[in-house]
Amino acid sequence: MNKSERAIEIIKILDKTYPEIPVPLDHEDNFTLLIAVLLSAQCTDERVNQITPSLFSVASDPLSMSKISVNKIYKIIKPCGLGPQKSKAISKLSKILVKKFNCEVPNNFSDLENLPGVGHKTASVVMSQGFGIPAFAVDTHIHRLAQRWGLTNGKNVKKTEEDLKKIFPKESWNKLHLQIIFWGRQYCTARSCYGLECKICKSCCPKRRKPFVHKKP
């Protein structure tokens, strides 16, 4: 089975399993989405969704967020981990959005990735889930799954994103990114499947007999 055939099989399985897929991070607009995605770095979506109501009750737009202290932000978001860095980034990017973007979240990768604390993966999530612009956000779990499913050589996350974009239709990227995340959490977890157990792994690589060894991103 080549990569194109695997892609067709993967889409078929994912569409059947997740015909509709919710955005995992609770948010009201693009600013609250941006903050939620930033907070999700090295933190579970569930934990972020527990914390953001407290944060957004204090400040839910760039202007109000820019006016509260870094320390106050830190005290609220501390359970998400990396509190010192994230609280400073949230404060700084809010000030930039007020001063440079009229309190609006920019809808392009260049401006997003220039904001403090916003990397390519975070920008991709905001572009796809916030603006509906095709993007394929690849985190370490999607990187591992792409290796298991024989879709990439596993050199790094950037290369995996490039490979996935070549294999899957552009119109599928936004939904597919979320479908893969949910499939990975439910059926192809980092510590269970190892390329041998779930339906996608068995469909893509039916001759595999030994646990798949991942290449680190």
User: Residue 114 in contact with residue 72, Cβ under 8 Å?
Assistant: no
Catalytic residue among 121, 163, 170, 215: 121
C-alpha distances out from residue 193 to 15, 144, 148, 190, Å: 20, 11, 9, 7
Beta-carbon contacts of 136 under 8 Å, excluding residues fewer than 6 positions away, are 124, 128, 161, 164, 165, 168, 173, 176, 177
C-alpha distances out from residue 58 to 26, 76, 115, 175, Å: 16, 10, 22, 32
Query: Which amino acid is present at 120?
Result: H
Q: Could you tell me the two tokens for 126? A: 């905001």
Place of tokens 């030994």: 210
Place of tokens 């005290």: 75
| pTM of the full structure | 0.93
User: May I ask the CATH class of domain 3-21+136-204?
Assistant: mainly alpha
Q: What secondary structure letter does DSSP report for 78?
A: G
Instruction: List the domain boundaries for the chain.
Output: 3-21+136-204, 30-130
Which pLDDT tens digit goes with each residue over 164-183? 999 999 999 999 999 999 99
Catalytic residue among 61, 92, 111, 139: 139
Dihedrals phi, psi of 194, to nearest 5 degrees: 55, 30
Angle at 195 between CA 140 and CA 173, to 5 degrees: 50
Q: Write the CATH number of the domain with boundaries 30-130.
A: 1.10.340.30
User: Residue 119 in contact with residue 113, Cβ under 8 Å?
Assistant: yes
Query: What DSSP line would sit under 103-162, residue for residue?
Result: T---SSHHHHHTSTT--HHHHHHIIIIIT--------HHHHHHHHHTTS---S-HHHHHH
Kindly give the confidence (pLDDT) of every residue in the chain, 217 residues in length, as a single tens digit, with 9 standing for 90 and above: 899 999 999 999 999 999 999 889 999 999 999 999 999 999 999 999 999 999 999 999 999 999 999 999 999 999 999 999 999 999 999 999 999 999 999 999 999 999 999 999 999 999 999 999 999 999 888 999 999 999 998 789 999 999 999 999 999 999 999 999 999 999 998 778 889 999 999 999 999 999 888 776 6
Q: Is 121 a catalytic residue?
A: yes
